[in-house]
Amino acid sequence: MAELKKDLQAVNKGLKALVRKTETLAKKVDKLEKAQAAAKRKTKAKAKTTKKVPAKKKVAAKKKPVAKKKAAPLTATDKIVNIIKRSKKGVDVPTLMKKTGLADKTVRNILFRSSKQGKIKRSGRGVYVAA
């Protein structure tokens, strides 16, 4: 029982020490809060007392010249139809392949689609002219 009493007294002493430390910390926090509030009031007062400079008039910005839009690059179909339109006698597939650099299958597909749309006509076997 005596041992228990000593333990309780030690715990009581420790709690009292913690209470004192907590109180000192609370006082320090209050001081800091007051100091910060005072600093805010000073900065607000300075802001109010400083002279306001009249706003400068804005000068209209120079407009940049509008750049002309670049024409979209020609599609493969457009290239082939243009080549055919420029020729008087018509053009065959190997010539179109050389001038455009496209593969045989690609050129033939484009020719088929263009003839279906009525952009070009066949003038003979493998020769195409403008419609």
Backbone angles phi, psi at 130, to 5 degrees: -70, 145
pLDDT of residue 85 exceeding 90 = yes
Environment class of 78 (CB within 10 Å of its CB; exposed 0-12, middle 13-18, buried 19+): middle
Is pTM beyond 0.75? Reply is no
Split at pLDDT 50, 70, 90, the class of 49 is low
Split at pLDDT 50, 70, 90, the class of 51 is low
What does the pLDDT average to over 10-30? Answer: 92
CA distance 122 to 110: 13
